[in-house]
Structures are given as C-alpha cells and as structure tokens.
Amino acid sequence: MSQSLQIRRLAGALGAEISGVDLAQELPDAAIAAIRQALLDHQVIFFRDQALTPAQQVTFGARFGPLNIHPYVAGMADHPEVMEVVKEPEDRTNFGGGWHSDMSFLQRPAIGSILYAVETPEFGGDTLFASQAAAFEALSPGLQATLEGLNAVHSAAREYSSQGHSAQKRKSMAIAEADGLVGEYIHPMVLTHPESGRKALYVNPAFTLKIEGWKTSESKALLDYLFQHCRYEGFTCRFSWRPGSVAFWDNRSVWHFALNDYPGQRRHMRRVTVDPWPVQAPAAAARRAQAVS
Ligand code: SIN
C-alpha cells in the first residue's frame, strides 16, 4: 500500500496532496505509517475524491490517536467526536475564520485535525495554512533563543465565552457559551515536535492571551509582532475544496484560517480532532509504537 501513495507538494513551506489511497477502507498499518510520515514531512496533507461516512472518518482518525470531543461545540448525535462545521447561506460568520491552531486552549492540545468536505460553495471557502516551523526558522537566532525560554497563556474565552466571537448567533452550529468554564493553560512558546524534532512557534491570535510573567503592554507588543510575522505568505499554502476532499493538519506546527468569502452559499464539512495519547508506562508506549510502525 505505501508504495502506491503518490505525494505532490503544493507550496514551498508546507502542504502536499496525496493520491492512491481510499481512506474509507480499513487501512493496513504500513499505509497508516506512510500517511503519518507524509504528515510529518509536509505538516498538512490533502486527499481528493474520498467518500467517508462519519463512522469511517472516526475509524481513520482513531488510527492516529484518541479523538477529541469538543468542549463547546456539539458533535453529531450518534458520533460525538465528529463536529459538523457548517455555514448556512444566511450566516454571516464562519467557524474557524481567523488564524488559529485547534484546541491550544486545552491543557493537552489536539495534535491533529482531519476535515472532510461534504458540500462546498460554488466559489470561495478555501482554507489557508501557515507553517509555524518555517515561521520559527525565519527568526534571528537571538529572538529564537529568547522565545525558547518563554511560555504563553492560552484560553478559549475570546472565542467561546458569551462575549466571544462564536457566541454570535448563527443557525448552523450548536456552540455552547462557556462563561465560568473556560480555563487558562500555559504552553511553551516554542514546541519541539515529539516525532520530527523540528521546532515551531506555538502561539496563535485566537487563543493566546499573553506571555507568562510579562506586562500586558510588553506581551502585546511581542505577540503582535509574531502574529504578523507568522502569516507571511511564504509560510503558507492554500487549499480549494471540492466535495470529498480531506485535509489532515498537524496542530503542533500549523495555523489555519477558513476564508469567509462565499456569502449566500452553503459550506458543510465534518471534522475529527486527534488528541495526544495519554501519558503511559514505557512498556505500553513501546507496544503502541510497534503497532503503528
Ligand atoms: C476549522 O477551523 O477547523 C475549520 C476549517 C475550515 O472549515 O476550513
């Protein structure tokens, strides 16, 4: 199976389209390992012309880790791990319409997201991706070293509290307002990828509130600089969806942005989100690694 995967790069910094695999099938471990390697190599990978039921999307996603149940957005009734990302013709805002990394507001953020297109608008509705590994590597050694010693505070408050962006009424998605529930979690500003060893910036405009231990004004100045730097077009790729397209991105090193440029049209996607494996004893971890290699 792995020999038949064809991989075509989409842009200089990240992104590759993969053909020669049917994600609806129970894939052999070798195929899963090849897909995992492609994700490590390209940070976001795309597949075309797939036909996935929610159950098949869950089965595929669960090969990469436990699936997240979103704390604020309702999943499908019979598949709570599957989030329906829908924008109806009368909706003005869309879900994911700003640069972010999924679930950085959790204590153990999601490692990957797998988005499947059910219905796409006639025009528009593309998603942008930006490599935060490339963004880190483009900084000076001095700023890199400074950032490696810093942590940042992340929270869902700006998005999911009653005053947040997602609290604006829309017909299409059941998003629970979460005042009082939204916690703050501290993450390093630079993550070393546990599998590739590549370093990436880990802050994002949607969920990063401030730099730990810094004054608000100091923190804002540096974060504003980074948020501008990180979206430079040389770090990005752009994906145009068709029904049956799938994107699989690594949240540890990639930002994404769902463009809201298709007024009056419907867009319907389904997402599963992959959590990190629970921390476990070394023997069990070794068995798991063997199972996917
Ligand atoms: C998301 O942020 O997960 C949604 C991305 C998209 O709909 O393109």
Residue 178 domain boundaries: 2-286
Calculate how far, in angstroms, residue 9's C-alpha sits from the geometric centre of ligand 1. 21
- ∠ CA 133-292-76, nearest 5°, is 75
219 part of a folded domain: yes
- Confidence (pTM): 0.92
Tell how strand 267-274 and strand 127-131 pair up.
unpaired
- 51-89 per-position pLDDT tens digit: 999 999 999 999 999 999 998 888 999 999 999 999 999
In this prediction, residue 181 carries a pLDDT of 58
pLDDT over threshold 70, residue 37 = yes
In sequence order, which residues have a C-beta less than 8 Å from that of residue 149 and are 6 or more positions away?
none
What pLDDT is stored for residue 278 in this prediction?
84
Q: What's the pLDDT band for 2 if we cut at 50, 70, 90?
A: very low
- Total count of residues recorded for the chain: 293
The residues that bridge with 269 in the sheet, in sequence order, are: 85, 117
Please say if the pLDDT value at position 292 is more than 50. no
Q: Answer whether residue 130 is part of any domain.
A: yes
Band (pLDDT 50/70/90 cuts) for residue 168 is: low
Residues having CB within 6 Å of any atom of ligand 1: 85, 95-96, 102, 113, 115, 127, 256, 258, 269, 271
The answer to whether residue 292 is domain-embedded is no
If you average pLDDT over residues 242-271, what whole number do you get?
98
CATH number of the domain that 135 lies in? Answer: 3.60.130.10
> Would you say residue 291 lies in a domain?
no
Q: Per residue in 191-222, pLDDT tens?
A: 999 999 999 999 999 999 999 999 999 999 99
Number of domains in the chain: 1
Query: Does 293 fall in a domain?
Result: no
Chain segment 120-132, per-residue pLDDT in tens: 999 999 999 999 9
Q: Whose CA is nearest to atom 6 of ligand 1?
A: 258
Of 91, 158, 271, 275, which residue is the catalytic one?
271
Mean pLDDT, the chain, integer = 91
Does residue 260 fall inside a structural domain?
A: yes
Under 8 Å CB-to-CB from 115, ≥6 apart: which residues? 85, 127, 246, 247, 248, 269, 270, 271
Contacts of 215 (CB under 8 A, 6+ apart): none
Distance CA 16, CA 293 (A): 22
171 assigned to some structural domain = yes
